[in-house]
């Protein structure tokens, strides 16, 4: 039942997604499934090059948004769609929800334009399930400071990440059946238990 599924992981920087993604991937590989782990922006040589520009070069919001969707188009064509077609489980760190949250919520970019770009680029492709790692921006900021040097997004202030969190909430409020909200303030063990419960509820 799980083969050929597209699953995404969302949340603000510092929410602890990476640890849990690997645990879920290992669980499904142990069950004999092909699991493709990937990320956005990124996942192909072209998309990774565009990612570097988005994360580290100064640009206006329209340019940033177009680069993100250009990376997504290449990623879908080269990685996601072929993997789904052969029956793999695609586990992706961020997808279009992040664009609505970061560029739409954080940057204040026009949501109507984002929706049009989503339609053009994805041609109906949406995740089968999205885990939203929801975390207060203040806590996420402390975690990021202890983990790594910040990129262009991670250097933003609490107000920006508060708007990003609100962007996620708005996006997911429109798709409650697709999204499993994870309380990312919990211990890693408690977060893992929430993920397992969401998967079990879907028979996965």
Instruction: For residue 87, say whether it is annotated as part of any ligand binding site.
Output: no
Instruction: For residue 9, say whether it is annotated as part of any ligand binding site.
Output: no
CB 42 within 8 A of CB 51: yes
Number of Cβ within a 10 Å radius of residue 45: 10
Instruction: For residue 15, say whether it is annotated as part of any ligand binding site.
Output: yes
Q: Given 3-state DSSP classes, what are the helix, strand and coil percentages for the chain, each rounded to the nearest 5? A: 55, 15, 30
Instruction: For residue 49, say whether it is annotated as part of any ligand binding site.
Output: no
Instruction: For residue 16, say whether it is annotated as part of any ligand binding site.
Output: yes
Instruction: For residue 74, say whether it is annotated as part of any ligand binding site.
Output: no
Query: How many angstroms separate the Cα of 73 from the Cα of each of 129, 136, 149?
Result: 20, 31, 29
* E strand map for 50-178: 89-93, 129-134
Instruction: For residue 13, say whether it is annotated as part of any ligand binding site.
Output: yes
Instruction: For residue 128, say whether it is annotated as part of any ligand binding site.
Output: no
Q: Which residues are annotated as a binding site?
A: 11-18
Q: Which residues are annotated as a binding site for ATP?
A: 11-18
């Amino acid at each position: 039942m799980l083969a050929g599924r597209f699953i995404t992981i969302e949340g603000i920087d510092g929410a602890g997604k990476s640890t849990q993604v690997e645990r879920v991937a290992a669980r499904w590989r142990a069950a004999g499934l092909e699991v493709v782990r990937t990320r956005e922006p990124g996942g192909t040589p072209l998309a990774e090059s565009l990612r570097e520009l988005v994360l580290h070069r100064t640009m206006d919001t329209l340019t940033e948004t177009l680069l993100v969707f250009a990376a997504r188009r290449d990623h879908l064509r080269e990685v996601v769609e072929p993997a789904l077609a052969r029956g793999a489980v695609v586990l992706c760190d961020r997808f279009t929800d992040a664009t609505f949250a970061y560029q739409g919520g954080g940057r204040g970019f026009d949501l109507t334009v984002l929706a049009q770009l989503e339609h053009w680029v994805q041609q109906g492709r949406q995740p089968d399930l999205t885990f939203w790692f929801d975390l207060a921006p203040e806590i996420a900021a402390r975690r990021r400071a202890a983990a790594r040097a910040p990129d262009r997004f991670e250097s933003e202030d609490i107000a920006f990440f508060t708007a990003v969190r609100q962007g996620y909430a708005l996006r997911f409020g429109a798709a409650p059946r697709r999204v499993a909200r994870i309380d990312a303030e919990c211990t890693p063990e408690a977060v893992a238990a929430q993920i397992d419960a969401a998967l079990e509820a879907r028979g996965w």
